[in-house]
């Protein structure tokens, strides 16, 4: 099915949602409280859900409606609820000091955004989708999530960064190719849930052994 012409209002809404995803990624870089990170992750999922709905409507692609529903179920409702429960059970409401201070991290993040937009230019020219202008934002969200992963100490914060990176990958897939086949998305979502439960068990094991979720405490294992 060929995509229908996109109205100026839908185009502006998509750009607004893309900008929201980018701003939320920057907000996640600056937050230390783990519960607020989960809330921001849920808002990121909400923006992703809304953008997928708009693309499905404007492109006339029925399968994207199912992708939007899956995004709402997993990334706005299920995963944030599970994360809040884990944080409450583990007593990990506050994150430890990041490996790099917040101002430096934000400056590095700004540099990554500039690099992402430069990298996306040739890809955007080759893409034929109505959302090709947001590919740069998608790459920037991926880079910022990866930056959050490598600059935080606690395992649960790094998992939130990984989930935010997956949001960026999904947004990139939607921007460049109208998303992945539904079968692949369902398989990835199932794998994500299984991995998430395994990580939950892993968190409790770390908590029991080290009385902390700070991964720097595990460096003692190297010395044994």
The phi-psi region of residue 178 (left if phi > 0; otherwise alpha if psi is between -120 and 50; otherwise beta) is: left
With a cut of 50, say whether residue 67 has pLDDT above it: yes
Residues 6+ apart with CB under 8 A from 29: 102, 105, 106, 109, 144, 147, 148, 151
How much is the pLDDT for 3? Answer: 45
Whether 180 has a pLDDT exceeding 50, the answer reads yes
Report the pLDDT value the prediction gives residue 2, as an integer from 0 to 100: 45
Q: Kindly tell me if the per-residue pLDDT of 114 is higher than 70.
A: yes
Instruction: Lowest mean pLDDT of 15-24, 90-99, 160-169, name the range.
Output: 90-99
Domain boundaries, the chain: 18-223
Asked whether the predicted pLDDT for residue 48 surpasses 80, the reply is: yes
Residue 37 has pLDDT above 60, yes or no: yes
Q: Which residues pair with 33 in a beta bridge?
A: 94
pLDDT at 221 over 60: no
- The predicted model gives 5-16 an average pLDDT of 76
pLDDT at 94 over 60: yes
What is the pLDDT of the chain when averaged over all its residues? 76
Least confident stretch, 13-17, 72-76, 87-91: 87-91
pTM of the prediction?
Answer: 0.76
Residue pair 45/68 in contact (Cβ under 8 Å)? The answer is no
Tell me what pLDDT residue 46 has.
95
- Residue tagged 């299984």 (tokens): 194
Is pLDDT larger for residue 76 or for residue 129?
A: 76
Q: Residue 166's pLDDT is what? A: 84
Residue 83's closest CA among 23, 42, 30?
42
């Amino acid at each position: 099915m060929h995509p229908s012409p996109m109205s100026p209002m839908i185009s502006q809404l998509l750009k607004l949602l893309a900008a929201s995803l980018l701003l939320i990624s920057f907000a996640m870089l600056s937050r230390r409280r783990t519960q607020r990170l989960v809330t921001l992750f849920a808002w990121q999922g909400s923006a992703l859900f809304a953008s997928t709905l708009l693309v499905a409507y404007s492109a006339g692609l029925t399968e994207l409606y199912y992708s939007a529903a899956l995004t709402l179920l997993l990334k706005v409702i299920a995963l944030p609820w599970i994360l809040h429960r884990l944080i409450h059970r583990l007593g990990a409401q506050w994150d430890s000091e990041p490996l790099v201070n917040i101002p430096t991290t934000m400056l590095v993040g700004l540099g990554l955004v500039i690099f992402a937009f430069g990298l996306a230019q040739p890809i955007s020219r080759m893409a034929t989708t109505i959302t090709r202008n947001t590919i740069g934002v998608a790459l920037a969200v991926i880079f910022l999530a990866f930056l959050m992963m490598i600059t935080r100490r606690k395992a649960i914060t790094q998992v939130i960064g990984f989930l935010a990176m997956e949001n960026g990958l999904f947004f990139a897939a939607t921007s460049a190719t109208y998303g992945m086949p539904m079968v692949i998305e369902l398989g990835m979502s199932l794998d994500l849930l299984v991995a998430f439960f395994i990580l939950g068990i892993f968190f409790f094991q770390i908590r029991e052994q080290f009385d902390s979720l700070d991964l720097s405490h595990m460096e003692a294992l190297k010395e044994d």
